[in-house]
Structure 1
Amino acid sequence: MIQTLVATLMWALVASLLIFRRKRTDRSITYAALTIAIAMTLNVDGIYTAVDPLVGGTNLATLLADALLMTGLFFLGRGVMKSGEYRPTLVRVAVSAPVLVISLSAIAVTFVFIDRGRTTTQFMSDLGAQPATAAYSIITFVYGGIVIAAMLTLAARRYRHSAGVQRLPAALLTLGSAFGVALCLAVIVMDIAHVTGRLGLLHAVQPAYGPLSLLTFLFLCAGFAAQPAVRRAQHYLRDKRTAALAAQLESLWNRATQVRPGLSQADPLAASTEDPEGRLHREIVEIRDAMIDPRVTFDTSRTERTLLERAESHLVGNDTAVATTLPIPNVEERES
C-alpha cells in the first residue's frame, strides 16, 4: 500500500513538473522525478511480480529498481545544487558522478553474491539475514542518505535566506530531506539488526519504515511541485501589479506626453504591443523626461511623485538596470 502511494506521488510530481517546468533548460529535477517514479513503480507488488519473471525471475528487478532510485537521487541532488550558488565541497562530492558510479558498481557486485532464490516481494525480509544482502542494502541507503543529507543542507540554507512565500518550497524540501535521512538510518539499523540476529531491534524499528517513506516522498514531492507553482503565482501577481501601476500612471503620462511627445507618439503601434513591464517602463521614462526637460513646464503633485516612485521601485525589484537608466528630476514642482 505504501509503495503504491509513493509511486502515485512521484507520477503526480512528474506530471506537475512537465507542466510547470517545460520551458526550463535544466531538466535535472524532471529526469530525477521520472527515474524515481519508475523505480517506485517497480516496487509495487503487482508490478514487481509481473516484471521480475521477464528478467529471469531471480529478483533482478530489485537491482534494477534500486539502481534507478540511486540514479534518480543523483539527478535530484544535482538539480537542487544547480538551483543555488551555495555549493560546498562536501555537497559537490556527494552528488558527483564518480560517487554514483562507485555506489552502483558496489551494489552490482554484492548483488551477485546474494542467494536470491525465486521472485519475492519481501526481498529484505526473506533474504536480509545474508551478509551480502545486508551489505547490498546498506550501500544503497548509505548512498541515498549522503545525497539526501546534501539536499537537506542546501534546502535548510535556502530557507534561512528566503522570505515570505518563497520559504514554502524550501521548508517542504527541508522536512522531506530530514525524513529521508531518518528513513535511510532506520533501514541501515534494520539491516544490521537482521544480519546480526537482533530481531527485537529489527521489529522495534520496522514500524517506522512505512510512515518515514510516505513522509519523505510526500514532503519532497510537495517541495519540488511548489517551486514552479510559487514562481508562477509570483509572476502572475507581479504582472497584475505592473498593469495596475501603469493604469494609475496613465493620466500623469498623458499630461507628460502632451507637453513633451515621446516614443509613444513616434511609434504608437510598437507601444501598443508592449508587455506590462515595457509599458510601465516607457511611461516612467517619458514622465521623467518631461519633468527634467527645461524647455517645457510640467508640474507634479506630491501624490503623483509618490506614485511614480512606487512604480519605479516596483520595476527595480525585477530589473535593477532600469533604476540606473531613469533620469533624476530637477525641476520646480508644485506641492499638493
Structure 2
Amino acid sequence: MIQDISAAVIWCLALCLLPDLKRRKDQSILVAAVTIATALTLNVDRIYLAGDQLLGNRNFLDLIANIFMVVGIYFLSRAILRAADVSETVDIHNRAGLSVLGLVVVALVVSFSLVDAPRTSTAFMRDFGSQWPAAVYSSVQFLYIGAVVAITGFTCFRFRGEMAKPYFRVAFMFIVVGCALAVVLVLAVLGMDVLHLMGELEAMTRLSFVYDAAEVGAMVFLCMGLALPPVARRLERRSDARAAAVLVERLAGPWDRITSERSEIRLDLAQTAIDRHDAPKRRLHRMLVEIQDALFVDPHLAQLLTQDDLDVLREAEQHLGARFAGSGHRRPGLLSRKGETTP
C-alpha cells in the first residue's frame, strides 16, 4: 500500500511538470520524477510479481527498480541544486556525482549477484536480509540516497532566502522538510539492516513503521516543493495574460488614433489570435512600440491623447516592465503632459 501511495504521488508530480516540457531547457526534474515513479511502480506487488516472472523469478526486477531509484535521485538532486545555485561549481559536482552514481550501480549489481534469492519475493530484504550481501546491497543504495538528499536539503536551506519569488522560498522549505524525512528514512533502513543481521526481528518490525511514515512524508513534501514553482508560474502567466488582454482592449482607442495615418506598420489585431499565454503581452508590446514610433516621427500627435489615454499607457508600460531604450527604440514623452514631449 505504501508503494502504491508513493508511486501515485510521484506520477502526479510528473503530470504537473509535463505542461512546461517545451519551456524548460533542463529536463532533469522530469527525468527524475519519471525514473523514481517507475522504480516505485515496479515495486507494487502486482506489477513486481508479473514482471519478475518474465525475468525468471530471480528478483532481477528488484535490482532494476533500485537502479532506477538511485538514477532518479541523482537527477532529482541535480535539478534542485541547479535551481538553488547557478554557479559553475554545480556542473563540476555533477560530473563527480555521475562517477559516484556509476560506482553505486556497480556495487548494487555485484552485491545483488551474491545474494541467495531463489524465489520471487515482494519483500526482498525481509526475506533475504539476514545475508550479509543483502545488507550490503541495501546499505549501498540507501547510504547513497542519504548522502545526496542531505547535501540537497542543506543547499536548499542555505539558498532559500535568495529566491526572488515567495513561492520559490516556500518550495525550497518543502524540499528541505522532504530531504530531512528522507534522511530519517535512510537511518531507519540502515537500522533495520543491522537488526536483521542480529536476528532482532521484532525490533526491526517496529522500526519499519518509522520507515513507512518517513517514505510517504518525504515523497509528499518533495513533490509539493517540486510541483509548486511550475504550477505557480503557470497561474502567474495566466493572470498576466488576462491583465495584458484587458490593457490591449483599453489601449485600442489611443493606438487607433495615433497610428491611423501609418497603416503600413500597424498591427492587424483581427489576425493576432490569443492562442498562448504570452500572446496578449506580445500584442500589448507591439501596440506600445507603434505608438512610440508614431509620436517620435510626429510629436504633435501627443495632442490626441487624453489624460485617460496617458494613464492607460502608463499602466501598460508598468505591466510590461517597459525598457524601450534597451530595445533600440527612443522613448517619447508618452507620460508627459498632453501636447508635450521629452527629448
TM-score under structure 1 length normalisation = 0.82
Look up the match of 2:74.
Answer: 74
Which consecutive unaligned segments of at least 5 residues does structure 1 have? none
| 1:251-266 equivalences in 2 (<5 Å) | 251-257=253-259, 261-262=261-262, 265-266=263-264
1:35-74 equivalences in 2 (<5 Å):
35-74=35-74
Map residues 113-192 of structure 1 onto 2, 5 A cutoff: 113-156=114-157, 159-160=160-161, 161-192=163-194
Aligned with 2:320 (options 315, 318, 323): 315
Q: Distance in 2 between matches of 1:320 and 1:66?
A: 54
Could you tell me the percent identity over the aligned residues? 32
Question: What whole-Å deviation, never above 9, does each CA across 1:14-73 have from its counterpart, x for those lacking one?
Answer: 344334425544332222222222211221122222222332323222211111111121
Give the whole-Å Cα distance in 1 for the aligned partners of 2:50 and 2:292.
71
Contact 2:129 2:196 in 1 (8 A): yes
Instruction: Provide structure 2 residue ranges, at least 5 long, that are not aligned to the other structure.
Output: 273-278
CA deviations over 1:275-325 (Å, ceiling 9, x no partner): 3223322332344445555652524566544442332122127x8876774
TM-score when normalising by structure 2: 0.81
Aligned partner of 2:224 in structure 1 is: 222
Q: Offset of 1:147 from its aligned partner?
A: 2.3
1:212 aligns with 2:214: yes
Q: Number of matched residues?
A: 330
SS in 2 for 1:172: helix
Change beyond 3 A, Cα 1:90–1:28: closer
**Deviation by residue 1:74-117 (Cα, 9 ceiling, x = unmatched):** 22223334445535748953772111100111121222222324
Deviations for 1:130-151, whole angstroms, at most 9, x for unmatched residues? 2222221111011112222333
In the alignment, the residues of structure 2 paired with residue 207 and residue 91 of structure 1 have an alpha-carbon distance, to the nearest angstrom, of: 38
Paired with 1:222 and 1:136, the residues of 2 have a C-alpha distance of 30
Per mean C-alpha deviation after superposition, the further-off stretch among 16-25 and 144-153 is 16-25
d(CA) in 2 for partners of 1:216, 1:181: 9
Change (3 A) 1:16 1:22: farther
1:284 to 268, 284, 288: 288
Q: 2 CA distance for matches of 1:320 and 1:86?
A: 29
Instruction: Output the CA distance in 1 between the equivalents of 2:335 and 2:105.
Output: 71
In the alignment, which residue of structure 1 is the partner of 2:30?
A: 30
